[in-house]
């Protein structure tokens, strides 16, 4: 039985096409076989012989001999994943509207498996309403549209539009080859910090970067879910392809989650919701000259997770228990009190403002699973796989 994973790499006419050989090498090191397809515009930007050598496979173009007339069908049958990288605005538009005027776009119409699109273009084009609308169309059909990087572009402009690092794109491709364990599920995720106003300029917040929530959104998208993220003002960007509801305060987050909760199948509460808020918000800005000392009265915010636990009917509800020492017993008690199906326990010392963390996954009627310190991306993938194992209606 052939266990080698197979990716068709569609290369379009963006300057970032020169990075394709490096991407093929990275995928090859992970045991992935790659066949490259070049659009006519891409042929002048990357060497076909280089692609052939690094992929150890033929390179496919519109200039193929007559014996390859059905190449788009054969490639569609061969590939398990179509990765379009770099994807220009022109090709994105063609894919969104079903135009098939070259081998790659004809292949895309014939492709029955997952499609991942890695855009790269000028900032003005990326921000344009037409491109964003086309991306929305593709995402609605199940394509995974990756975010873009920010920085200096080939034309010298600064801003969003750069191709993501090829290492990141390779990670997305490898993850996309994984089983779609949440296909057809609606996943609601809370992410990032919340902020509570003190006066017109000051706030109470916390050190959450939002990375865990972003990685959970990415893992859920790659698992085939329809993802909605309710996010406070996080420093870490959310992946493309998910619906985002921006909020600021705990009250804002509660209102948004309460509105979305009934329609979701799975809710993952990864946000660091403020436990307290000022009893009153001062008008304007309080000046240091007003007094030599300042006492701030705080009141408790509603417990958002506990409220969702009471409202739960058919949903799988997942909470996070962040505390000093990551007490397993405390997390288990919290899971029961708040009517959750799973609780992720981790320690303040290792979870805040970090790229990696250790965690303990606690589920009803199962032994706790300890996850050694690992990248939050990998932890998110483990959590999503564990959620997929929870039997439907297990909470009833």
Cβ pair 363, 386 in contact under 8 A: yes
Show the tokens assigned to 100: 């098939």
Specify the pairing of strand 266-269 against strand 316-323.
parallel
Catalytic, 56? Answer no
What values do phi and psi take at 79, rounded to 5?
Answer: -80, 145
What values do phi and psi take at 338, rounded to 5?
Answer: -100, 10
The Cα 302–Cα 167 span in angstroms is 42
HSE of 343 in the Cβ direction (CA atoms, 13 Å)? 29
Specify the pairing of strand 298-300 against strand 276-278.
antiparallel
The Cα 216–Cα 225 span in angstroms is 11
| Alpha-helical runs (H) found in the chain | 20-29, 48-55, 71-78, 89-97, 103-110, 123-127, 129-140, 166-176, 211-222, 250-261, 304-311, 328-337, 348-351, 376-389
Gyration radius of the chain over CA positions: 24
Dihedral over Cα of 20, 23, 29, 31: its sign: negative
Q: Which residues contact 322 (CB under 8 A, 6 or more apart)?
A: 272, 346, 347, 348, 351, 352
Q: Which residues contact 276 (CB under 8 A, 6 or more apart)?
A: 196, 204, 298, 299, 300, 301
What secondary structure letter does DSSP report for 233? Answer: S
Dihedral over Cα of 40, 42, 46, 49: its sign: negative
What values do phi and psi take at 145, rounded to 5?
Answer: -100, 115
Catalytic residue from among 155, 264, 340, 363: 155
Residues marked as catalytic: 155
């Amino acid at each position: 039985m052939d266990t080698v994973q197979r990716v068709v790499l569609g290369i379009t006419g963006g300057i970032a096409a020169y990075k394709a050989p490096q991407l093929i090498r990275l995928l090859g090191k992970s045991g992935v076989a790659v066949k490259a397809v070049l659009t006519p515009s891409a042929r002048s930007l990357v060497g076909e012989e280089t692609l052939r050598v690094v992929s150890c496979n033929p390179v496919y173009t519109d200039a193929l001999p007559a014996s390859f007339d059905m190449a788009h069908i054969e490639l569609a049958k061969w590939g398990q994943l179509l990765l379009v990288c770099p994807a220009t605005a022109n090709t994105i538009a063609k894919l969104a509207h079903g135009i098939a005027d070259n081998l790659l776009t004809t292949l895309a119409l014939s492709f029955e498996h997952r499609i991942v699109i890695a855009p790269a273009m000028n900032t003005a084009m990326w921000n344009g309403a037409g491109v964003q609308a086309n991306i929305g169309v593709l995402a609605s059909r199940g394509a995974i549209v990756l975010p873009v990087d920010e920085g200096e572009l080939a034309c010298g402009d600064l801003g969003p539009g750069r191709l993501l690092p090829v290492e990141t794109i390779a990670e997305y491709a490898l993850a996309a080859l994984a089983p779609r364990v949440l296909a057809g599920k609606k996943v609601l995720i809370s992410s990032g910090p919340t902020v509570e106003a003190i006066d017109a300029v000051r706030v109470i917040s916390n050190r959450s970067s939002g990375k865990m929530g972003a990685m959970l959104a990415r893992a859920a998208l790659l698992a085939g879910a329809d993802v909605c993220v309710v996010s406070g003002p996080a420093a870490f960007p959310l992946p493309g392809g998910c619906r985002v509801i921006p909020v600021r305060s705990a009250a804002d987050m509660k209102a948004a989650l309460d509105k979305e909760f009934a329609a979701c199948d799975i809710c993952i509460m990864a946000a660091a919701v403020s436990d307290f808020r000022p009893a009153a918000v001062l008008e304007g800005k309080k000046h240091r000259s007003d007094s030599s000392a300042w006492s701030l009265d705080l009141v408790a915010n509603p417990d958002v997770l506990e409220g969702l636990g009471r409202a739960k009917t058919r949903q799988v509800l997942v909470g996070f228990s962040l505390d000093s020492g990551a007490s397993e017993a405390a997390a288990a008690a919290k899971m029961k009190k708040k009517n959750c199906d799973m609780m992720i326990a981790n320690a303040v010392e290792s979870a805040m403002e970090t790229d990696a963390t250790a965690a303990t996954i606690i589920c009803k009627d199962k032994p706790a699973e300890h996850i050694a310190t690992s990248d939050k991306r990998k932890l998110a993938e483990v959590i999503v796989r564990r959620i997929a194992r929870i039997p439907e209606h297990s909470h009833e």
